[in-house]
Amino acid sequence: MELTSPSVIRALMSEAGITFRKEFGQNFLTSRDVVARIADSAAESEDTVILEIGPGIGTLTQELCERYRKVVAIEIDRGLIPLLGKTLAPYDNVTVIEGDVMKVDLRALIEREAEGHPVAVCANLPYYITTPILMRLLEARLPLTSITVMIQSEVADRLAAAAGSAEYGAITAVLGYYGKVSRLFTVSAGCFLPPPKVSSAVVRIDLYKEPPAVPRSEALLFRVIHAAFAQRRKTLVNALSGVAPLDKATLLSLITSQGHSPTVRGECLSTRDFIALADAIDEKTKRPQ
Ligand code: SAM
């Protein structure tokens, strides 16, 4: 069954008595080439267990089953479950779970399904919930080697932006703490049914086994990053007033002692710079002289 064919997709959905659910971000892939490229990028080792979010009608799932040890796919739309039973019937290395990826206990699921094999996430993500899904995967510190996802092209630019560029933001700096982001390729709206309003891109996050530097306080690091970008036009020293009980002169001396200009803005600091600054703030707050 050629699942990238629009007529096959329509026929399968009509047989199942279902329609595209916009509220679930359903834009199904119709390009064989794109599906194959995403599946190829998902992991290095064939021994990997792939966690797929939103299998839809199973197009990417089939390609992942062909390449890797096992696929565990979580789908929120109950109407798609019987259809997936049909399209994935030829594969004995797939488990489909009906559920919301924001609610499923992913750690328990991985422990149960992966049995010690490497695990990677691969998905054509529903765009309405891209950032919350990524943050949930990262903050939970799941034992993942990588996350390969199709997302809106604009969001991909932001995730992979270099410090100092206009696209660089809090999410870029936070992601830089968990892994190395690479923008792999762009995908046009014509490769989906129905076509989304925006173009898309595939990014891969290779997760660090150990963070590049360990902050004294993760909570303070994230507070500093978010405050630095909350009002982009403010200088860093002004943006940070309020994240710690330090006066402006003290904050300024911490910023300049790290080698930054007194008027530096948040977008010029790399993740490592933020870690160093948050550590300096933490130390000053706890051991004021
Ligand atoms: N993988 C298919 C493909 O590439 O053709 C479908 C991708 S479509 C962009 C996103 C899929 O995610 C849909 O099947 C949708 O129902 C599912 N989905 C949306 N929100 C979800 C959630 N919170 N948890 C699990 N699946 C979700």
Provide the percentage of residues in the chain whose pLDDT is more than 70.
99
Domain boundaries, the chain: 6-207, 218-286
pLDDT at 87: 98
Q: State if residue 59 touches ligand 1 by the CB under 6 angstroms criterion.
A: yes
Scanning the structure block, which residue is given the tokens 């399904």?
113
For residue 220, how far is its CA from the centre of ligand 1 (angstroms)?
Answer: 34
pLDDT at 247: 92
Q: How far is the C-alpha of 172 from the C-alpha of 181, rounded, in Å?
A: 9
Q: State if residue 100 touches ligand 1 by the CB under 6 angstroms criterion.
A: yes
Tokens (6 digits) for 109: 């699921």
Tokens (6 digits) for 153: 């092209």
Measured at the CA of 125, the angle between CA 123 and CA 126, to 5 degrees, comes to 150
For residue 28, how far is its CA from the centre of ligand 1 (angstroms)?
Answer: 9
Closest CA to 3 of 122, 99, 86: 86
Cβ atoms of 58 and 88 within 8 Å: the answer is yes
For residue 44, how far is its CA from the centre of ligand 1 (angstroms)?
Answer: 24
Tokens (6 digits) for 270: 């790399």
Pairing of strands 49-53, 119-124: parallel
Residue 1 confidence class, pLDDT cut points 50, 70, 90: confident
Q: How far is the C-alpha of 173 from the C-alpha of 162, rounded, in Å?
A: 9
Tokens (6 digits) for 154: 């604009």
pLDDT at 288: 66
Pocket mutation for ligand 1, best pick of 22, 41, 77 (most atoms within 8 Å of C-beta): 77
Judged against a pLDDT cut of 70, whether residue 198 lies above it is answered with yes
For residue 289, how far is its CA from the centre of ligand 1 (angstroms)?
Answer: 54
Per-residue 3-state assignment (H helix, E strand, C coil) for the chain: CCCCCHHHHHHHHHHHCCCCCHHHCCCEECCHHHHHHHHHHCCCCCCCEEEEECCCCCHHHHHHHHHCCEEEEEECCHHHHHHHHHHCCCCCCEEEEECCCCCCCHHHHHHHHHCCCCEEEEEECCHHHHHHHHHHHHHCCCCCCEEEEEEEHHHHHHHCCCCCCCCCCHHHHHHHHHEEEEEEEEECHHHEECCCCCCEEEEEEEECCCCCCCCCCHHHHHHHHHHHHHCCCCCHHHHCECCECCCHHHHHHHHHHCCCCCCCCHHHCCHHHHHHHHHHHHHHHHCCC
Provide the percentage of residues in the chain whose pLDDT is more than 90.
94
Kindly state the average pLDDT of the residues 95-102.
98
Kindly state the average pLDDT of the residues 184-207.
97
Residue closest via CA to ligand 1's atom 23 equals 100
pLDDT at 232: 79
For residue 185, how far is its CA from the centre of ligand 1 (angstroms)?
Answer: 20
Q: Each residue of 31-64: pLDDT tens digit?
A: 999 999 999 999 999 999 999 999 999 999 999 9
Residue 242 confidence class, pLDDT cut points 50, 70, 90: confident
For 107, phi and psi rounded to 5 degrees? -65, -45
CATH second-level architecture of 6-207?
A: 3-Layer(aba) Sandwich (3.40)
Q: Each residue of 144-176: pLDDT tens digit?
A: 999 999 999 999 999 999 999 999 999 999 999
Question: Which CATH code fits 218-286?
Answer: 1.10.8.100
Judged against a pLDDT cut of 80, whether residue 132 lies above it is answered with yes
pLDDT at 244: 85
